């Protein structure tokens, strides 16, 4: 007997699987939805395709749970047009809760490890920005960090810095600063103590529950060292 296959159209992204793959986890939403007792109540587009109005890219990892029994950590996936889609920690957490997928301490460890990797990437990007700005004889980088974006604030008489932090990292950086606005600054101040780097992070509310972080990173050349390389040293 041929095993029954179904197609899940999740937010426009289609996945084909066996019904038995989903019902192997009867306590999850899809396991219940496609159980034998609910078979007659299900409505599909063509007796085989079922539309679910959720995040189709995050669902890739939900589907991997049904196939492997493990929650794999998000990476980049590509749709049919080869457009890169990044699934964030927050997006996957929302879908795990919605589809009632069980997760354990191993998954939580992966969440924290992935978040730490992203924060490290942000710090490395900031270090690179500081080095480039220093080479251009600038001494101040100003950023406005919102929940969905990072903007460079142009200061008068300063060379224009380049934003090297990926836009996809803005949400995590925002949440990190809400919890701890000093650790990144302490690290940068320690690493760049020779140029007297100062990290300043202030927050203000524009509208209710909407916080913006204003980050200023200032630093100065050691002009004693400048003189060492100048004709003025004699």
Q: Tell me what pLDDT residue 164 has.
A: 86
Q: For each of the domains in the chain, give its residue range(s) and CATH number, in order of start.
A: 5-103 (3.30.710.10), 109-224 (no CATH)
**How many Å from the N-terminal Cα to the C-terminal Cα in the chain?**
94
Q: What backbone phi and psi angles, to 5 degrees, belong to 143?
A: -135, 145
Q: Indicate the pLDDT class of residue 83, thresholds 50, 70 and 90.
A: very low
pLDDT above 60 for 115:
yes
Query: Beta-carbon neighbour count of residue 182 at 10 Å?
Result: 11
Query: Beta-carbon neighbour count of residue 188 at 10 Å?
Result: 19
pLDDT above 60 for 189:
yes
As beta bridge partners, residue 212 has 204
Decide: pTM greater than 0.85.
no
Query: Beta-carbon neighbour count of residue 196 at 10 Å?
Result: 13
pLDDT above 90 for 120:
yes
Reported in sequence order, the residue ranges of the chain that DSSP labels E, i.e. its strands, are 5-10, 13-18, 49-52, 76-78, 84-86, 140-145, 150-152, 198-207, 210-218
Cα 153 to Cα 223: distance, rounded to the nearest angstrom: 26
pLDDT above 50 for 51:
yes
pLDDT above 70 for 33:
yes
Q: Tell me what pLDDT residue 207 has.
A: 66
Cα 102 to Cα 56: distance, rounded to the nearest angstrom: 19
């Amino acid at each position: 007997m041929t095993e029954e296959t179904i197609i899940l159209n999740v937010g426009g992204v289609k996945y084909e699987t066996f019904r038995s793959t989903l019902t192997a986890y009867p306590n999850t939403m899809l396991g219940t939805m496609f159980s034998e007792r609910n078979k007659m109540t299900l409505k599909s587009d063509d007796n085989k395709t079922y539309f679910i109005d959720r995040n189709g890219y995050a669902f890739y990892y939900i589907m991997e749970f049904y196939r492997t029994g493990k929650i794999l950590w998000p990476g980049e996936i590509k749709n049919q047009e080869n457009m890169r889609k990044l699934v964030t920690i927050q997006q996957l957490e929302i879908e795990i809760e919605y589809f009632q997928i069980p997760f354990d301490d191993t998954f939580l460890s992966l969440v924290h490890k992935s978040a730490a990797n992203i924060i490290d990437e942000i710090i490395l990007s900031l270090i690179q920005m500081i080095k480039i700005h220093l080479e251009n004889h600038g001494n101040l980088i100003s950023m406005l960090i919102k929940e969905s974006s990072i903007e460079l604030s142009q200061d008068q008489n300063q060379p224009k810095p380049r934003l090297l932090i990926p836009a996809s990292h803005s949400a995590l950086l925002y949440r990190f600063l809400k919890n701890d606005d000093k650790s990144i600054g302490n690290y940068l101040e320690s690493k760049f103590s020779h140029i007297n780097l100062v990290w300043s992070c202030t927050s203000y509310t524009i509208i209710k529950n909407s916080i913006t972080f204003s980050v200023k990173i200032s630093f100065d050349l050691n002009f004693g060292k400048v003189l060492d390389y100048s004709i003025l040293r004699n």
